[in-house]
Structure formats: C-alpha cells, structure tokens
C-alpha cells in the first residue's frame, strides 16, 4: 500500500466499484472474496451490515445482498463470504466466475442488524450455516475495538466440514477470555479445543453453553426455519424480546397478506395495469410490484426481496396499493406514497415512479 492509498477517503454509501484482490476457500462449499475499491477507499460500515452486488447475469440485471464478513476495524479491504447453494443463481455465479482482478458494482452498506445501531453490554450470537458471517464481523469488531467484551457465540452447522471461520474464531476465543464459542453439529462429530453438542440447537444446549443467556442481547442469523425455531424457543422461556435481533437471509417474502385477508378470488386475481414511465404491464393482485418492474426490465435494485433492506423503494403517483412491509420507510415517505416494490401489490391500476 502506498501513502496515497493509506490516506484514502472513507467509503461513502451508494454505488461503488470494487475490485476482487483475493479469493479463498473457507469450506468445501463456501468461498471468501476480498475486495478493495477501484478508487482507493477505507471501508466505513457498521459491523453486521451488508452490501448489494449489482450484476448483469445472462442479460438480466440482478441484485443480491451479502453480509460483509470482515470488520470495519480493518478498513483497507472488505471481505464477503458466499456459500454455493442449489439453484442459487447469483451466489453460484459469483463463486464460479468472480476471480482475482475482476471488478463488480456494489451498493451499500446497509442494514439495521449491526452493533452500532443495536447497543448491548453482553452479547449472545446465535447463527447457523452461512448466517455466521455477520457474527464473525461483529466478533472481530468487538475483539479489535472493545477488548474484554462479553461474547457468547453458539453456532450450528451440519458437520465439522461445514464450519466457516473455525480456526479464526478459535484463536479469538483463546486470546479473549470473555469470549466463549460453542457449536452444535448435526453430525455429532466432536471438536478439539472447543465444546460442541450433537444435533440441532435446543434450549437445553443453550442453557448449558450460556447459562446467563436470558440476560444477554441476542443476535440471530441463519436459515428461516432456524430463526423461527430460535425465536419460538426464546419466546417460550419469556426472553425479553426487545433484546432479540435477527437478520433474515434472502428468499422471497413468505407473507401473502392479501390472500390471508381473504380478498376473494376475483379481487385477488383481477388484473391491474402498472404504469412506469412509458411502459405498462398487467399484474394480478397477487403479484408484487417488483415482479412487474422486473418483467419490463426496468432498473430496480431488489436486494432482500423481503421488505427489509429498502433497496426497492419507489413512489406511487396514483392508484391504490397494499404493502406487507414498510419497514425502512419513514412516516413522511409513506405519506408521500413511497412503497417497497417487493412487498407491495396492486389494488387498482397504478402509476409508479422509480426515481
């Protein structure tokens, strides 16, 4: 690094071009990519946040979000850790094609699931599978910047071979007596130098590994069924849910509020016209605005597709809609007609602005 790079400015939120400077295999199906700015930049973000890759794959513009697995305490590069998944179009594309020297456009950082916006004194990190990535960033941040932080970390995985960041986490716990690491492995394999349980995470395991778990602020990340299970488990024992925080990874929204509300078959499937600029398309009451926009090939960033990240914000100029999420919108924005396209369906013909 030369002097100029050393003095590089902080990363500003928005679209940035990054260059992959290193990639390595974490496990048999997980790869990490280290990036630097095409223009030298210091990566300033909140531990736990994600970036959104903006990609053109086979002529389609796709956007997907990935948690930053590195820590902002080490700001000169940024690491994203990606698991190959069956049918995972973007993840597999990146694992197969993104090589050292390639550049990509990303937007971000974003995400409320982070240690800056959620202050805590004692931490409980619960993760499963590739849900470990924000926890790793957070752990690194805490051990780099707040030495002595009280961290209990319980990670669930299928087998030993699926453990991501294992060696690095082990070193962290060895150096930091206030950090404790436990695993639950479905395979039942045992690990050297680290306690592990057999099977999926249960309350008993949790109580054994982290006796004071009820007093901690909990951060949960993993596949949807895992998070639901953890949430149910904690609610069941009267955990103070104001200290419960979870990140959800991808997947289309499971909520189908319109149908649930029993609008009736006709109303729910009646076609409405969605007008965006010069283009118009027909949507049933069951399709999301996002589906309509993407069908017309219009530029929109849809990262989480679950009403969480706020990337697909757009404005209704006329017409009626119904939304299952307004999570990232301010009351003023809602008042002005802003919606999240991924979580909004038409109730009449609608004219929309993407600006």
Partner 1 sequence: MFCIQCEQTIRTPAGNGCSYSQGMCGKLAATSDLQDLLIYILQGVSAYAEKARAFGIIDPAVDTFVPKAFFATLTNVNFDDERIIDYTKQAYAYRAQLKAAYEAACKEQGQVVEALIPAASLVLASVKEEMLAQAAQTLPNRGKEEVNEDIMGLRLLCLYGLKGAAAYMEHARVLDQTDSEVAAKFHEIMAFLGSDSVDADKLFATAMEIGQLNYRVMAMLDEGETQAFGHPEPTQVNTVAVKGKAILVSGHDMKDLELILKQTQGKGINVFTHGEMLPALAYPELKKYPHLVGNYGSAWQNQQKEFANFPGAVVMTSNCIIDPNVGDYADRIFTRSIVGWPGVTHIVGDDFSAAIDKALSLEGFAYDEIPHHITIGFARNALMAAAPAVVENVKSGAIKHFFLVGGCDGDKAERSYFTDIAKAAPKDSIIMTLGCGKYKFNKLGFGDINGIPRLLDIGQCNDAYSAIQLAIALSEVFECEINELPLSLVLSWFEQKAIVILLTLLSLGVKNIRTGPSAPAFLTPNLLKVLEDKFGLRNTTTVEQDLNAILNVA
Give me the least distance between CB of 18 and partner 1, in Å please: 9
Give me the least distance between CB of 68 and partner 1, in Å please: 19
Give me the least distance between CB of 346 and partner 1, in Å please: 21
Indicate the residue among 103 and 174 with the shorter CB distance to partner 1: 103
Distance in angstroms (rounded) separating the CA atoms of residues 248 and 240: 20
For residue 154, the cross-strand partners are 126, 182
Which position has the token pair 């550049």?
Answer: 103
Indicate the residue among 15 and 265 with the shorter CB distance to partner 1: 15
Indicate the residue among 52 and 323 with the shorter CB distance to partner 1: 52
CA-closest candidate to residue 168, choices 140, 209, 127: 140
Distance in angstroms (rounded) separating the CA atoms of residues 266 and 295: 23
Return residues touching partner 1 (CB under 8 A): 17, 19, 38, 55-60, 97-99, 101-104, 278-279, 296-297
Distance of CA 104 to the CA centre of its chain: 18
Give me the least distance between CB of 17 and partner 1, in Å please: 7
Distance in angstroms (rounded) separating the CA atoms of residues 79 and 22: 9
Q: How many CB atoms lie within 10 A of CB 167?
A: 9
Q: Give Cα separations from 127 to 9, 73, 163, 164, 181 (angstroms).
A: 33, 22, 11, 11, 11
Give me the least distance between CB of 278 and partner 1, in Å please: 5
Distance of CA 331 to the CA centre of its chain: 24
CA-closest candidate to residue 41, choices 51, 31, 56: 51
Give me the least distance between CB of 1 and partner 1, in Å please: 17
Indicate the residue among 98 and 179 with the shorter CB distance to partner 1: 98
Provide the sign of the torsion angle of the four alpha carbons 207, 211, 215, 217, taken in this order.
negative
For residue 25, the cross-strand partners are 31
Indicate the residue among 33 and 226 with the shorter CB distance to partner 1: 33
CB 233 within 8 A of CB 210: no
- Token pair, residue 79, equals 């690491």
Give me the least distance between CB of 32 and partner 1, in Å please: 17
Who's near 160: CB < 8 A, 6+ residues apart? 185, 187, 189, 191
| 3-class DSSP state of 245 | strand
């Amino acid at each position: 690094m030369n002097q100029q790079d050393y003095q590089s400015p902080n990363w500003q939120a928005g679209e940035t071009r990054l260059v992959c400077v290193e990639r390595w295999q974490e496990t048999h199906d997980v790869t990490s990519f280290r990036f630097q700015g095409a223009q030298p930049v210091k990566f300033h973000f909140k531990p736990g946040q994600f970036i959104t890759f903006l990609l053109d794959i086979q002529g389609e513009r796709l956007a997907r979000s990935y948690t930053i697995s590195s820590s902002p305490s080490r700001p000169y590069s940024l690491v994203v850790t990606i698991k190959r998944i069956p049918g995972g179009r973007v993840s597999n594309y990146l694992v197969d094609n993104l090589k050292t020297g390639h550049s990509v456009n990303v937007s971000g950082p974003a995400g409320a699931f982070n240690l800056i916006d959620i202050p805590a004194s004692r931490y409980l990190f619960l993760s499963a599978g590739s849900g470990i990535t924000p926890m790793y960033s957070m752990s690194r941040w805490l051990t780099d910047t707040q030495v002595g932080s009280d961290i209990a970390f319980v990670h669930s995985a299928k087998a030993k071979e699926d453990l991501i960041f294992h060696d690095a986490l082990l070193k962290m716990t060895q150096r930091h007596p206030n950090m404790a690491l436990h695993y639950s492995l479905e395979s039942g394999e045992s690990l050297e130098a680290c306690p592990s349980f057999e099977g999926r995470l249960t309350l008993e395991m949790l109580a054994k590994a982290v006796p004071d778990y009820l007093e901690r602020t909990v951060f949960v990340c993993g596949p949807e069924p895992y998070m639901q299970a953890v949430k149910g488990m904690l609610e069941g024992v009267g955990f103070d849910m104001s200290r419960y925080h979870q990140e959800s990874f991808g997947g289309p929204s499971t909520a189908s509020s319109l149908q649930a509300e029993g609008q009736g078959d006709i109303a729910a499937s009646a076609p409405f016209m969605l007008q965006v600029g010069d283009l118009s398309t027909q949507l049933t009451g069951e399709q999301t605005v996002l589906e309509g926009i993407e069908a017309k090939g219009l530029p929109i960033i849809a990262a989480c597709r679950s009403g969480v990240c706020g990337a697909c914000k757009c404005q209704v100029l006329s017409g009626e809609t119904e939304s299952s999420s307004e999570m990232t919108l301010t009351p003023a924005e809602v008042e002005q007609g802003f919606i999240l396209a991924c979580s909004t369906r038409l109730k009449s013909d609608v004219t929309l602005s993407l600006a």
